[in-house]
Amino acid sequence: MSTKVEFKNVTKKYKMYTRQIDKIKDLFTSKESGDFHYALSDVSFSVDSGEIVGIIGLNGSGKSTMSNLISGVTMPNEGDVYVNGTASLIAISAGLNGQLTGLENIELKGLMMGLSKKQIQEITPKVIEFAEVGKFINQPVKNYSSGMRSRLGFAISINIDPDVLVIDEALSVGDPTFTQKCLDKMNEFKENGKTIFFISHSLGQVKSFCTKAIWVHYGKIKDYGDVLPVTAQYQKFLADYQKMTPEERIKFKAEQLKENNHGLLMTNDVKTKKGFFDIFKK
Amino acid sequence: MNSLKTVFSEQFNNVYMIGRLSAYELKKLYANSFLGGIWIFLNPIIQIAVYGLTFGLGIRGGASVNGIPYFTWMVCGLIPWFFISGSIMQGSNAIYARINTVARMNFPLSITPTYVIVAQLYTHLVLLILLIAIVTFTVGIENIHLFELIYYILSSFCFLVALSFITSTLSTMMRDIHLLIQNATRMLLYLTPVLWEASEKAPKFLLDLMKLNPFFYVVEGYRSALIYDNFNYLLSPLTLYFWGLVLVMLVLGTTLHVKFRRNFVDYL
């Protein structure tokens, strides 16, 4: 088995601006000083082909940043992201244009993924069949229900046949029958030696069909390995966390802050400077 | 210079994509209207009528320009101006408005400004047919030089693409730039001899200052191709100045684009 995706000491940080003008200043000066939020700090892992990796963690722990990095939407500030082949991201309603019809969206998205005219003609019937939107295929996408939109998005992305597929919460709006259909399709994908990243809060789905799991915790990888031990650990953590009293949670966060420089753990103690519009305030 | 090469090779490798995506641009624009493509004509015709009445009959009292009816003379400047102003505004918004669709995949981002301008070019070419018809019926066909016309279409296209590389990058990072450009474009209509004549009687330094505006060259170029028999205009030093400016802007624009495009998503 070959390595399909590899993260080498990847850090993605966002600067926390308090004023718009600071953004402009940063274009011309060094960006090293200031208040940073480390969405991911020094993350390394590698995934072989044919794996389905579940990415789990609390809200804001860096799951979506990770999916954006894999699919090439953003670039890391430090370290390297190595992806062997093309990566495609499926997020809820990503890349669909509301003004255009379903059919036009298939062509448009195909074009943007770099497909040739012939390839687009080949996948179009498959997408229509998979998406099950019936007559709506000739209606503007803005008239779709959220389930239909997610089905179409999923159908397009999966038929484009990328080497790496990143699914960011996209199945959460589908009904169980469609979710099952997607899971079947993803298993087919897996057998073809493709790699899938599956981001979900549904531990049941993660357990039932992922082979590995990554637990992201405040921008760092807490655990990475076979799916069952990792999810068990995570579940144990969730149960413990929910049992905590508010005081204990504050203490827990303070302890975490020592280890992680994460924006969610910090309290906002920045003194707000007086802006122009404050003169209207009493 | 390296970024210029990168951007150029991305353009040439994706010619089919540019064509299809620009067609979708037009589709999106008219998808929701009842009249659809008729708006391509309707909107300019309304503007032409208003400007023709206010400036031609109102201010000038129907006087002609160098023996050419004011209306014809004005339309020869106004139709290229629609192309210019539309392209400046859309070009400046090219990346910002589409970043959510295009950044989610391995997409050659540098074709975005190009296909937005190409979409404007389609509309322009359709309007040019109207323009040629107007010129033929009012002053005759003898001064229409097709070769010159194609040259001026191409030069305005090149200039607008180069410009939108700069503006689309800057206005993605700072929204203020986009608002500034929108306002400046409206003012630019009155700084370019579209509705008024750049008379040779004006003070020389003022006229020279006007000629530094690259759209001066383009608008007067269209006129020389359509209504004046003035091939010398193409051979004037202004041509050299114009293409020098295009080159400088292309280098600057592509450098900015390549430098910042990896971070566009983070600026939103």
- Rounded CA-CA distance B13/A142 in Å is 32
At B78, the pLDDT band (50, 70, 90 cuts) reads very high
Q: What percent of chain B has pLDDT over 70?
A: 97
* Three-class SS state of B25: helix
Q: What is the average pLDDT across B221-231?
A: 86
3-state helix, strand, coil split of chain B in percent (to 5) is 80, 0, 20
Which residues from B are below 8 Å from A99, CB to CB? 28, 31-32
Least-confidence region, from A166-175, A192-201, B47-56, B183-192 = A166-175
> Could you give the strand order of the β-sheet that contains A87-91, starting from the edge strand earlier in sequence?
A87-91, A164-168, A195-199, A52-56, A212-217, A220-226
- Rounded CA-CA distance A108/B106 in Å is 14
Mean pLDDT over the full length of chain B: 88
Q: What is the pLDDT of residue A191?
A: 83
- CB contact B21 to A (< 8 Å): yes
Dihedral angle at the C-alpha atoms of A222, A226, A230, A235, nearest 10 degrees?
150
pLDDT at B260 > cutoff 90: no
- List, in order, residues 6 or more apart from A249 with CB less than 8 Å away: A241
Minimum Cα–Cα distance from A27: chain B residue: B173
Q: What is the average pLDDT across A121-135?
A: 89
- Rounded CA-CA distance A62/A43 in Å is 11
Least-confidence region, from A16-25, B4-13, B239-248 = A16-25
Residues in A lying within 8 Å of B, measured between beta carbons: 14, 23-24, 27, 68, 71-75, 86-89, 91, 94-95, 97, 99-100, 104, 107-108, 111-114, 116-117, 140
Least-confidence region, from A12-16, A133-137, A155-159 = A12-16
What pLDDT digit, counting tens, does each position of B87-99 carry?
999 999 998 888 8
Task: Select from A75, A89, A97 the Cβ nearest to the Cβ of B28.
Answer: A97
Using alpha carbons only, what angle is made at residue B178 by residues B175 and B182, rounded to the nearest 5 degrees? 145
Q: What is the pLDDT of residue B140?
A: 83
Q: What is the pLDDT of residue A270?
A: 47
Residue B177, min C-alpha distance to chain A (Å)? 11
Q: Which CATH number fits domain A3-85+163-271: 3.40.1210.10, 3.40.50.720, 3.40.50.300, 3.20.20.60?
A: 3.40.50.300
**Residue contacts between A and B (CB atoms, under 8 Å):** 63
Give the number of other Cβ atoms within 10 Å of residue B248's Cβ: 11
Q: What percent of chain B has pLDDT over 90?
A: 50
Q: What is the pLDDT of residue B38?
A: 86
- List, in order, residues 6 or more apart from A190 with CB less than 8 Å away: A50, A51, A52, A196, A211
At A278, the pLDDT band (50, 70, 90 cuts) reads low
pTM here is 0.84
Mean pLDDT over the full length of chain A: 81
pLDDT at B56 > cutoff 90: no
Give me the residue spans of the domains in chain A. 3-85+163-271
At B155, the pLDDT band (50, 70, 90 cuts) reads very high
- List, in order, residues 6 or more apart from B116 with CB less than 8 Å away: B22, B25, B87, B90, B91, B94, B164
- Rounded CA-CA distance A159/A16 in Å is 39
pLDDT at A272 > cutoff 60: no
Asked if B168 and B112 touch (Cβ cutoff 8 Å), the reply is: yes
Least-confidence region, from B54-63, B78-87, B159-168 = B54-63
Residue A23, min C-alpha distance to chain B (Å)? 9
DSSP string, A127-152: HHHHHT-GGGGGSBGGGS-HHHHHHH
Alpha helices by DSSP H, listed for chain A, are 20-28, 63-70, 102-112, 117-131, 146-159, 176-191, 203-209, 227-243, 246-259
Least-confidence region, from A75-79, A241-245, B200-204, B252-256 = B200-204
Residue A109, min C-alpha distance to chain B (Å)? 9
Residue A191, min C-alpha distance to chain B (Å)? 24
Which residues from B are below 8 Å from A91, CB to CB? 104
Q: What is the average pLDDT across B54-75?
A: 85
Q: What is the pLDDT of residue B75?
A: 92
Q: Which two tokens stand for residue B145?
A: 């030089």
- Rounded CA-CA distance B249/B235 in Å is 22
Q: pLDDT: is A76 or A25 the higher one?
A: A76
- CB contact B186 to A (< 8 Å): no
Least-confidence region, from A20-24, A195-199, A273-277, B94-98 = A273-277
- CB contact B13 to A (< 8 Å): no
At A271, the pLDDT band (50, 70, 90 cuts) reads very low
pLDDT at B73 > cutoff 80: yes
Asked if B63 and B70 touch (Cβ cutoff 8 Å), the reply is: yes
Least-confidence region, from A18-22, A47-51, B74-78, B101-105 = B101-105
- CB contact B31 to A (< 8 Å): yes
User: Residue B230: what are its φ and ψ, rounded to 5°?
Assistant: -140, 70
Mutate to test the interface with B, among A111, A164, A165 (most CBs of B within 10 A): A111
The alpha carbons of chain B give a radius of gyration, in whole angstroms, of 19
Q: What is the average pLDDT across A91-100?
A: 73
What pLDDT digit, counting tens, does each position of A146-197 carry?
888 888 888 888 888 788 888 887 677 667 888 888 888 888 888 888 888 9
Minimum Cα–Cα distance from B27: chain A residue: A100
- Rounded CA-CA distance A44/A140 in Å is 42
Give the number of other Cβ atoms within 10 Å of residue B29's Cβ: 17
* Three-class SS state of A7: strand
Q: What is the average pLDDT across A238-263?
A: 78
| Cβ–Cβ below 8 Å for A104 and B266 | no
Mutate to test the interface with A, among B14, B33, B105, B260 (most CBs of A within 10 A): B105
B94 closest CA partner among B79, B114, B69, B123? B114
Q: Which of A134-138, A180-184, B119-123, B140-144 has the highest mean pLDDT?
A: B119-123
